Amino acid sequence: MSVYAGTPLFVYILIMKIFAVGFNYPEHNKELSATLSKSSEPVIFTKADSSLLKDGKPFFIPDFSERVEYETELVVRICRLGKSVPEKFAHRYYDAVTCGIDFTARDIQEKCRKEGLPWDLCKGFDGAAVIGEWVPIEKFRDIQSINFHLDINKKTVQEGCTSDMLFTVDRIVSYISRYFTLKTGDIIYTGTPAGVGQVHIDDHIEGFLDSRKVMEFNAK
């Protein structure tokens, strides 16, 4: 409780973490580096909380990049507190999924990779983490057999299936929990398949889980 001008104000602040996985689909790995290199462990990075974009709000293409690309992904929502979660119990720690976009300033990322710099600027800028409507996990037979795709201007531009992941959702959840305490409301972007591409002003963007549309917004 805080007091301002003699009036008590109750402020509820939700602090959530945004995790993301890089290089989790073999064809995307070849797409970016012309090789099928696979790390023995998931490649994890984070995004700032201000990068979250939801509820169909428009995505404003930043002026500091000449090439911002979409990366469509399955996004998982954490539903309970967890630390060092065994992989066999990881399914108990998420309750919903959605389709999301990990927007990437590709030109800045290429510069960062060449210079061995972190990815914060190219991955964590404002609006770079789009999420759609959450769907309870019970709606799907198996989290590792969910198809998802992205349409831009009514044309499908990217498709994927979670069965193609190099690291499963449960493996990712368990791995992240070794280093970070998972909390209710945290979200995880689980990696993108091949087919990434540049987003343009006035693009109309829609994301689907199987045949269910869960995400829709415009680029400006």
**pLDDT tens readout for residues 39-60:** 789 999 999 999 999 999 999 9
Q: Which residues contact 200 (CB under 8 A, 6 or more apart)?
A: 61, 219
Check residue 27 and give its pLDDT.
Answer: 75
Tell whether the model's pLDDT for residue 11 goes beyond 50: no
Tell me the pLDDT of the chain averaged across its residues. Answer: 91
CA distance 199 to 220: 10
Rg (Cα) of the chain, in Å, rounded?
18
Cβ–Cβ < 8 Å for 20, 45: yes
The pTM score is: 0.90
Q: What average pLDDT does range 55-74 have in this prediction?
A: 98
**pLDDT tens readout for residues 156-199:** 999 999 999 999 999 999 999 999 999 999 999 999 999 999 99
Q: Is the dihedral of CA 73, 199, 204, 28 positive or negative?
A: negative
Q: Which of 209, 54, 78 is nearest to 135 (CA)?
A: 209
Does 93 or 12 have the greater pLDDT score?
93
Neighbours of 102 (CB within 10 A): 26
Q: Which of 4, 14, 6 is nearest to 186 (CA)?
A: 14
Q: Which of 169, 163, 170, 134 is nearest to 146 (CA)?
A: 163
Tell whether the model's pLDDT for residue 211 goes beyond 50: yes
Tell whether the model's pLDDT for residue 147 goes beyond 50: yes
CA distance 86 to 35: 31
Check residue 29 and give its pLDDT.
Answer: 65
Check residue 111 and give its pLDDT.
Answer: 93
